[in-house]
Chain A
Amino acid sequence: MPKPPRFAETLLRRVVSPEDGEALAGDLEEMMRDARHPRRWYLQQVLSILAARTRQGLRAHLSTDPRRLTMAFRQDLAYALRALLKEPLFAATSIVMLALGIGANVAMFALLNAVLLKPLPFADPDRLMLVQLLAPDREEPGVLHPMIWSYPKYGALRDGQRVFESTAVFGAGNWNLTGTSLPDRIGGEYVESSYFGVLGVTPLIGRTFSADETRAPGSAPLVILGHTFWRQRFAGDASIIGRTIGLNGTPHTVVGILPRGFRGLTGQADVWVPITTLNADDLGNPFDHSYDVVARLRTGVSAGQADSAVGIIGAEIDARFRGPGGVPQQPNARQGSWSATAVPLDGQRVAPIVRRSILLMLGAVGSVLLIVCINLANLMLFRTLSRQREVAIRLALGASRLRIVRQLMTESCLLAVFGAAAGVGIAYLAIHVGAALMPPDIRLVLSPSAPVTGAQTVGLMRVGFGLVGLDISTLVFTVVIAVGASMVFGLGPAWSGSRRDLSVAIKARSAASSQGTRRFALRNLLVVAEIALALVLLTAGGLMVKSVARLQSTPLGFRSDALLTFRVPLAAPRYNSRTATDLLQRLMMALAERPDVEAIAFGSCAPISGGCNRTLMTFPDRPTPARGAENRVEVLWASPEYFETLGIRLVRGRGISDRDRAGQPKVVVINETAARTYWGAEDPIGTRIAVGQGGFGDGAEVVGIVQDVKYGSVDLAVLPGVYLPQLQSVRSGGLIFVRSRTHPSTLVTAVRAELGVLDPDLPLVNIMMMDERFGEATWRTRVSAWLLGGFAVLALALAALGLYGVISQGVEQRRREIGVRMAVGADRAHILRLVIGRVFVIALSGIALGLVCAVPAMRILRALLYQVRPTDPLVFSGLALLLLAVALLAGYIPARRATRVDPLTTLRAE
């Protein structure tokens, strides 16, 4: 005989009375024997009883007629509206506060939703994988870093894999749109034909590339246009298909238009070009790691299986492409084997640090909303206090307590609805202003950067800011927090306001002051809590702002103002390294003659751009260092004018001169860190070193030491660096730096013009003010600081408002008492002390509580801070004092009002 489930039995006992329960349980036990799934049936029956009872109970409570119910609701609504209209100031303040709180939350949620929650905007996004090479760390054996692919290595993956439906290689590119009246620089992607199929994108008009069109290097120049680009540049003219547009001077035939909103995995593509149009030498170089690989899982293959399969191919690739790895002269340069891995694309959409910042911001705006709710709860409490007579009379006339609570809650909900509506408006504005303020190609999304080889950071995944917006889930979130907020600020006051203290309330107004004290204690506690929250937010904001200040004042080692940088890609076959260097020389000479150009130079690597080439350095006169203890250096190529143009100070010896050319004795200049690290007390000048790149493996003389420059990122330590004269070690891949006498942006046209004279088809790329580069390198910290700082100021203002409200209402309630005190001889100073003393107690308690909470809370911030400890005493004490000052100010205004109470008027009014 089946036994009824224990849980259901307990539930039944809870729902019905013991005597009913016995018979009921007996009946159910008897009946369950006939059921097909007795235990399930039993539970279902118990639940049906529970549901029926609930329905019954509700119906009995709310009267059975649904018409009466809607009427009551309409009555409540009308009454609530009238009550709010009667106090427009209260209503407006509440709605504005709620709108700010809810709006900030909605905007943050929209961001979170876009970068973390929303499925990627591709077909079946959970089947998409990002395939990465894994390169051994140069310092630590056994450690592997994700890495992008070279084209030959990708070929091995494509041909060797069996776990993916298809794979696609792609890379970001920039082109000069030529042959139009309005030349423009546009972003796009080099792709394999399978790219669109893998992502599930079908063209709006025309077609995508065929497999043949991206099979082998040297394929025909074709192009697919993005929707926005097509609309803006070609007015949405469909006849563009089959015509050509000029990219970098080469006519490309347009074959298709992609649907609206698709910007590629780089998130900023306007055009797509076959990857096989790239230079055959670059594509054929197995160590030119420049491309990402995305793949779609074959049905029935799990992500884990794909990963292990890719790992095996990784080992094959390692065996097949054993090569220079950047340090051809060093036999022991290889620290370990390469491998490969496949990871879900969805997990790669955001860097951990960005994820952390966003969650932190969400926490901050959540706290702001909580403060708003506390303020509103306080206001509501005060309102119920002043409406006590009304409530008491309604209770006396037979209204149930639930009826009163429902009435008061209707008011709260109404406020929350208005607040949420305005909040959505604020969020909408915030998102659009935010989108406009964001630098266009912010990398919200990237893989962990690991400059293992010469290649730059790994991964290009970005989410365009366009993905951030108000969608259904954001609106659902809004409704949830609005309802939650109205519960938080409405339920407590409604409950306590509907207490049946009839006699006290109806009897006399005078009772209110004593009756209110208990509620005042609660209200004081609420204010203490919001001051504490405000202090936590203030310290978070303060620490971030201090980090930004530290970042801004970090010596970069060069002058970033009025400095323009750009790159001229001089690609084969048109240019070899000799002709390329020659063209750069002529361009620089032409520009140097301009009056607005102060200095001009060539360098292989831009400061604060993620790092430069790295190699090993050896001393011919020292013993060969043990494996793992080699001397590692950053290596740069510089023209003679480089140090002067960038404002890099020469510490000792001489810089690079124009006599340091091919055929002359090889020389190098080192930075201070290199001198300190590898020479110590010794004088480097005059000593000889060998450098693993640029043909300097046979040795060169150190002739000078220059100031340290941050080439990596602002918050990273400077690495030992070696500068090679560009004229002794030919290298054309690099940037031109122009120090301008005017605003450097005015030079851009001049540069274009001069370049046009030398070769009209050459594009300029990476044109950027050095200031912009710095801004880009520090944007994340700055945005975090602005936002957190903003929220903290908002919290401070709200807390001050809350304190002000409680104190001034307290003064209002005690007007009579104060009048009496003054009548019996208390002077103004005494009254002021009385009120301010209370402010002081509240503020100090709040600050103490805030400090206790902030110290552990700030640990979350650690990863986002720069050269600031999470417990920075200056920030903590400064902000605590600031908060105290604001609190005292907020309390002083009502205190002053208290001293103006006229004892006669008050007494007469009795």
Chain B
Amino acid sequence: MSTHTIGDFEQLILFALVRLGADAYGVSIRGDIEKRTGRTVSAGALYTALDRMEQRGLVASRLGDPTPQRGGKRKRLYTLQPAGERALARAYESLRLMANGVAARLRAVKE
């Protein structure tokens, strides 16, 4: 599998990272994706994807400070890396280019 392409689910995660900025961790990422797309995100899929992208250098993580509302456990905070940014930009660009001119028709089909 090439390091240049990222999957659909991974794209969603990366977008969430961009939006969330400094407060991106498991709960907020999942919340963002579920809220916007209506997709149910399982912990297994989310953390596997995050692990995989971390291994590929697309994202980085560090442990944050413990907060009392989560049983005094620390958060793992994720930040987007340059490689991840590039990959996301490329993916979005491809999608945009492909969608150019046909998106309206797609909507028509959908409705």
Residues of A within 8 A of B (CB): 19-20, 22-31, 44-53, 56, 64
Contacts and interface: CB of A to CB of B under 8 A. Distances in A.
A355 B53 CA distance: 61
A20 B75 CA distance: 10
Contacts of A44: 42
Contact of A51 (B1, B44, B75, B76): B44
Contact of A23 (B44, B45, B52, B76): B76
Contact of B27 (A20, A27, A52): A27
Contact of B26 (A19, A23, A51, A52): A23
A22 B47 contact: no
A286 to B, nearest CB: 72
Interface residues of B, number: 20
A27 B44 contact: no
Interface centre among A20, A25, A27, A28 (most CB of B within 10 A): A27
Contacts of A25: 71, 73
A47 B42 CA distance: 10
A48 B42 contact: yes
B96 interface: no
Nearest to A27: B26
Contacts, number: 67
Nearest to A42: B43
Nearest to A47: B44
A49 B44 contact: yes
Given A30-B70, A46-B43, A23 B48 contact: no
Interface of B: 1, 25-27, 30, 42-45, 47-48, 52, 63, 69-71, 73-76
Given A31-B27, A31-B30, A22 B74 contact: yes
Given A29-B73, A30-B69, A30-B70, A48 B27 contact: no
A772 B24 CA distance: 88
Contacts of B73: 22-23, 25-26, 29
27 contacts: A19-B63, A23-B25, A23-B26, A23-B63, A23-B73, A23-B75, A23-B76, A24-B26, A25-B71, A25-B73, A27-B25, A27-B43, A27-B70, A27-B75, A28-B43, A30-B70, A45-B42, A45-B44, A46-B43, A47-B44, A48-B42, A49-B43, A49-B44, A50-B44, A52-B47, A53-B44, A64-B1
Contacts of B70: 26-27, 29-30
Contacts of B30: 27, 31
A55 to B, nearest CB: 8
B63 A24 contact: no
A44 B42 CA distance: 9
A702 B25 CA distance: 106
B27 A30 contact: yes
Contacts of A24: 26, 43, 47, 76
A322 B25 CA distance: 87
A751 to B, nearest CB: 82
A52 B42 CA distance: 10
Given A45-B42, A64-B1, A56 B76 contact: no
Contacts of A22: 63, 73-74
Contacts of A29: 70-71, 73
Interface centre among B26, B44, B52 (most CB of A within 10 A): B44
B48 A53 contact: yes
A702 to B, nearest CB: 91
A877 to B, nearest CB: 64
B76 A20 contact: yes
Contacts of A50: 44
Contacts of A26: 70-71, 73-75
B40 to A, nearest CB: 11
Given A31-B27, A45-B44, A52-B48, 20 more contacts: A22-B63, A22-B73, A23-B26, A23-B63, A23-B75, A26-B71, A27-B26, A27-B27, A27-B43, A27-B70, A27-B75, A28-B43, A29-B70, A30-B27, A30-B69, A46-B43, A48-B43, A49-B44, A52-B44, A56-B48
Nearest to A26: B73
A52 B1 contact: no
Closest 5 CB pairs of A and B: A48-B44, A26-B73, A27-B26, A23-B76, A52-B44
Contacts of A27: 25-27, 30, 43, 70, 75-76
A29 B76 CA distance: 14
A29 B73 CA distance: 9
A46 B27 CA distance: 15
B25 to A, nearest CB: 7
Contacts of B26: 23-24, 27, 31
Contact of B45 (A19, A30, A48): A48
A52 B71 contact: no
A26 B30 CA distance: 14
A41 to B, nearest CB: 10
Contacts of B75: 23, 26-27
Nearest to B43: A45
B2 to A, nearest CB: 12
A23 B43 CA distance: 12
A23 B72 CA distance: 10
A52 B45 contact: yes
